Amino acid sequence: MEQQRRDPRGALVRPYAVTRGRTEPRQDIALEAVLMASPAQINESRFAGHDKHRIAMVCEGRPESLAEIAAYTRLPLGVARVLVADMVAEGLLTLQTAAPATGYEERMEMLGRVLSGLREL
């Protein structure tokens, strides 16, 4: 009996179907921006779709960054960015802080701190 082969594109197609093919968020949210969901927002997210509800649950009662949300939900970062921006616009997530616009040196320093922190895990 011949084993069925999976289309390797399937793993990438589904997440982008969630965003209806959009690759650009409604608003620019930095990777390190802090997001939270209140109990009322979590309740409302149940009606916004499975992926948005999962994102709200990740942010329940504790601040999470956009990068952490993508990692916890196992969504590609681009997809998570679009969904999170939609959720902020729809009032399903609260954007606590956004990183100020910084120059190249400041971004490289921040990335270095992130890498150092990951190595400690």
Q: Where are the domains of the chain?
A: 17-120
pLDDT attached to residue 57: 92
Q: Is the pLDDT of residue 3 over 50?
A: no
Q: What is the pLDDT of residue 41?
A: 87
CATH (residue range 17-120): 1.10.10
For the chain, the farthest-separated pair of C-alpha atoms sits apart, in whole angstroms, at 59
pLDDT at 23 over 50: yes
Place of tokens 């916890």: 72
Distance CA 45, CA 95 (A): 15
For the entire predicted model, the pTM comes to 0.67
